[in-house]
A = this chain, B = another copy of it.
């Protein structure tokens, strides 16, 4: 892990990269749906290359990983589900309550499509893996997926979704969790259950 950031450094980085990554999410979406003239597409391509060149001037050879803040806590800005600097991440904002229940609401558009107009089954799996996993994390000890079973009971339309997960039972090292995805009508579209493991060496996986 690299040197811990001060809260001020973390905030400044978030102020810079948060809005940029949000613009990049918009760009990913419009690249899929654009009907612009060929000349404008070519111009857009050049701008994308210029932006990548500017940001590549100095670059970390490693993926983002987990970075500490001097006041405690960690930053997971590269994470594909929740990362503030990862434009693939919707990003999920997962809330957990005192009972261990984890919940997130999100809106998924064209970039998450599988069957026409619907969320890809694998993206549903990503959402459920992450939110079920969130019931099992402990401060300083993230949990890793052991097994995950998904039942696709209804189509998941692109749009507003809610993901909920809860703990069924626990041992010192394992959490047995269940959860589901609800569409904007409150209909359950995918059900999941899984076993999540807290290894002794916290980064062994």
Interface residues of A (CB under 8 A from B): 1, 12, 16-17, 19-21, 23-24, 26-28, 30-38, 40-45, 47-52, 54-66, 77-81, 83, 85-88, 109-118, 120-123, 125-130, 133, 142, 144-152, 155, 158, 203-205
Since A83-B113, A87-B87 are in contact, a sample of 17 more A-B pairs with Cβ atoms closer than 8 Å, ordered by chain A residue number, is A16-B45, A17-B31, A21-B31, A32-B77, A33-B59, A33-B62, A34-B56, A37-B58, A47-B47, A63-B109, A64-B110, A78-B113, A81-B114, A120-B129, A125-B148, A146-B151, A147-B149
Selected contact of A55 from candidates B27, B113, B114, B155, CB within 8 Å: B27
The quantity of this chain's copies bound in the complex is: 2
Give chain B residues whose Cβ lies under 8 Å from the Cβ of A114. 79-81
Give chain B residues whose Cβ lies under 8 Å from the Cβ of A59. 30, 33-36
Contact yes or no, A88 B118, CB < 8 A: no
Listed by A's residue number, 9 A-B pairs whose Cβ atoms lie within 8 Å are: A27-B52, A32-B77, A33-B62, A33-B64, A47-B51, A64-B110, A88-B111, A121-B133, A155-B204
